[in-house]
Structure 1
Amino acid sequence: MLLTDYIDSVYGTTRGNRARFLKDNPDILPQELSRWLKAGLKIRPETGEIYKPVSRRVRIPSAVAAGAGVFLSDDLRERVASLATAQNVTTDAMLNALVEREELCRKLSLQAGSDAAVPEQQIAGIVSRYFSALSERSETVAWHRVLEGLVRELTESGLLSFHTGNVAESRRLNIPRTAYYWYGGFVAKRVAMMLGCYDIYLWNEMRRPDSDVVFVGDARNVVACYFICQQMCRLLKAVRLNWRKQQGTWGSRAELDEAAHRYTQRLAEGIMDNGIFIGGDEQNSYRLYDYAEKHYAWAMR
């Protein structure tokens, strides 16, 4: 691709496009750019390399790459190269593999959409199997291993989507209000973020001792959110009760209860600091928030 065509594609054809290019590439002098354009030098958009007779690279910022729609930003190119190195393949082979996987996921997603049935029992069974390896004495690292393995299996089985087609919502998950305040709300929000969904707190009257949460997002992802959050809240309750029982009588009942809740809260924060995130760009997040506002306006106040 000619360098002049690249500049026109990325920075537009209006006056000042070369100045914008130079602003993103301060190491390139204006006179150098003029010589390269007159000589008709070419650029490899996938690497940002200007070749023959010079060997220089240009920066491709994320915003510029997204606007052009056909170029990889520097950051994304480095991430792809890192993946390729880890798998001992070329960058082109890694990109092809990622595209093929995405095409397969889309094909499976369309098939699942035509069936209109989400395999809830299958998802529930997988979630239950992974959480059975945990107990009230499990350390944070064990929780991380379980969540990583669970999300990996659900993804490889086609039971999680990286994109949201038609927005769906889960069943209402009931969480005791005290538990929701201390750790349940945080867990629900982070599980939703982890799987590219949005959580809605359906507040009830103050006299009712429970809370309801509903997840919105891809039909399969919201089911996974429901069962993962349900299992986590059950197990965290067991953690709290076990820790409370071990404390003896060093304080009043209220003091011991608060200390137990704070311990469980800190554990939940450590568990959810796991780096798992399968998607949810700004446009997708807006769609989910817009759905929540339309269907649960009373809960969004």
Structure 2
Amino acid sequence: MLLSDYIDVVYGTARGNRARFLKENPDILPQELSRWLKAGLKIRPETGEIYKPVSRRVRVPSAIAAGAGVFLSDDLRERVTLLATTQNVTTDAMLNALVEREELCHKLSPAVAIGIAVPEQQIAGIVNRHFAALSEHSETLAWHRVLEGLVHELTESDLLSFHTGNIAESRRLNIPRTAYYWYGGFVAKRVAMMLGCFDVYLWNEMMRPDSDVVFVGDARNAVACYFICQQMCRQLKAVRLNWRKQQGAWGSRAEIDEAAHQYTQRVAEGIMENGIFIGGDEQNFYRLHRYAETHYSWAMR
């Protein structure tokens, strides 16, 4: 904004506003201020930098604008202007309305509890109790009822959050690599999506026969993801072993093992088509992805 406009806004338009400006900025001489005002210099209020504008403009991409702390990129400015035109209001009025709406959303959002320990044992007990109703013979509909009842109880007990506050991560869940390849990775990803978290596959050395998964998200949701995924992988292993036991010897061991894994994979896909989703929006997903990239960059390649 123009330096003259800044002085009018901050120090008022009444006589003596420039004197008040100079009083608060003793390192600026009166003749310097007069010269700057006559030259039409501008000021960047967020930094206090005074600069001389040029006739040329640089188009700033949205991603660069966000990283550099610029309030509006050229693309966003054009979109706001277009929106203001369609609503028959000024650009400033539209910006004020958008800011007020965002402030209202923050006020209505529940406050994030800081420093409160997550009741892992309570969450684990609820998860174990619900999964105790399942066996290797359970149908997909029974799995759906268990998951729906589990998520409902966790939500009613305030053990799940619909908003991602402070980002936390779960303990590392160890899954045998073969199981991870066939169904464990799919289950981990879908459970994370259900509860608004992000799963990170911590691939280990190729000679190790296991894989670690960590869930990133709201502290309570990440813990719930850990225990739910753990129980699901155990139950699906029982499903695979039971199906394989019933097959007899119609083929080689490798063929039967592969068929058993394929069957378990189809069962897992049917289970996860349950319509449960309390996940966050695109902004929260971006936060979780950035957290994972920062803390587990070696696993995100």
TM-score tier, shorter chain, comes to 0.5 to 0.7
In structure 1, the gaps of 5 or more residues are 1-8, 19-65, 71-98
Q: List per-residue Cα deviations over 1:215-273 (Å, max 9, x = no partner).
A: 00000000000000000000000000000000001111011000000000000000001
Distance 1:133 1:185 in 2: 24
Give the total of aligned pairs.
211
Query: After the TM superposition, which segments of 4 or more aligned residues of structure 1 sit over 2 Å from their partners?
Result: 9-14, 66-70
Letter in 2 for 1:196: G
Equivalent in 95, 104, 110 of residue 106 of structure 1: 110
Q: Which runs of 5 or more structure 2 residues have no equivalent in the other structure? A: 1-79, 89-96
Deviation at 1:139, TM superposition (A): 0.3
Shift of the 69–136 alpha-carbon distance from structure 1 to 2, 3 Å rule, reads: farther
Q: Secondary structure at the match of 1:106?
A: coil
How far does residue 13 in structure 1 lie from its aligned partner after superposition?
3.9
State how far apart, in whole Å, the 2-side matches of 1:199 and 1:275 are: 19
Letter in 2 for 1:251: G
Q: Which amino acid aligns with 2:184?
A: G
CA–CA distance in structure 2, aligned partners of residues 273 and 240 of structure 1 = 19
Look up the match of 1:211: 211
* Structure 1 pair 67–174 and aligned structure 2 pair: CA distance change class (3 A): same
Residue-by-residue CA offset, 1:30-71 (whole Å, 9 max, x unaligned): xxxxxxxxxxxxxxxxxxxxxxxxxxxxxxxxxxxx96985x
The one-letter amino acid paired with 2:127 is V
Q: Does 1:119 align with 2:119?
A: yes
What letter corresponds to residue 110 of structure 2 in structure 1? R
State the match for 1:193 in structure 2. Answer: 193
Q: Which deviations, in whole Å up to 9, do the C-alpha atoms of 1:162-221 show, x marking residues without a partner?
A: 111111000000000000000000000000000000000000111100000000000000
> What residue identity is the alignment partner of 2:194?
M
Q: Secondary structure at the match of 1:217?
A: strand
Alignment of 1:215-234 (within 5 A): 215-234=215-234
Conserved? CA contact 1:154–1:160, under 8 Å:
yes
CA contact (8 A) 1:164 1:217 kept: yes
- Percent identical among aligned pairs is 78
Instruction: Say if 1:13 and 1:199 are closer, same or farther in 2 by CA, change over 3 A.
Output: closer
Compared CA separation, residues 67 and 236, structure 1 to 2 (3 A): farther
TM-score, structure 1 as length reference: 0.66
Amino acid in structure 2 at the alignment position of 1:118: V
The structure with more radius of gyration: 2
- Residues in 2 aligned to 1:219 and 1:210: alpha-carbon distance in whole angstroms: 25
Counterparts of 1:272 and 1:69, CA distance in 2: 39
Change (3 A) 1:273 1:69: farther
Equivalent position SS for 2:121: helix
CA displacement, residues 132-178 of structure 1 (integer Å, 9 cap, x when unaligned): 00000000000000000000000010000011111100000000000
Change (3 A) 1:10 1:69: farther
Is the CA contact (8 Å cut-off) linking 1:195 and 1:221 kept in structure 2? yes
Deviation at 1:280, TM superposition (A): 1.3
- SS of residue matched to 2:205: coil
Q: What is the match of residue 41 of structure 2?
A: none
Structure 1 counterpart of 2:221, which letter?
N
**Cα distance in 1, alignment partners of residues 100 and 274 from structure 2:** 31
Q: RMSD between aligned alpha carbons? A: 2.4
Paired position in structure 1 for 2:284: 284
Superposed displacement of residue 106, structure 1:
2.4
In structure 2, the CA distance between the partners of 1:251 and 1:294, relative to structure 1 (3 Å rule), is same
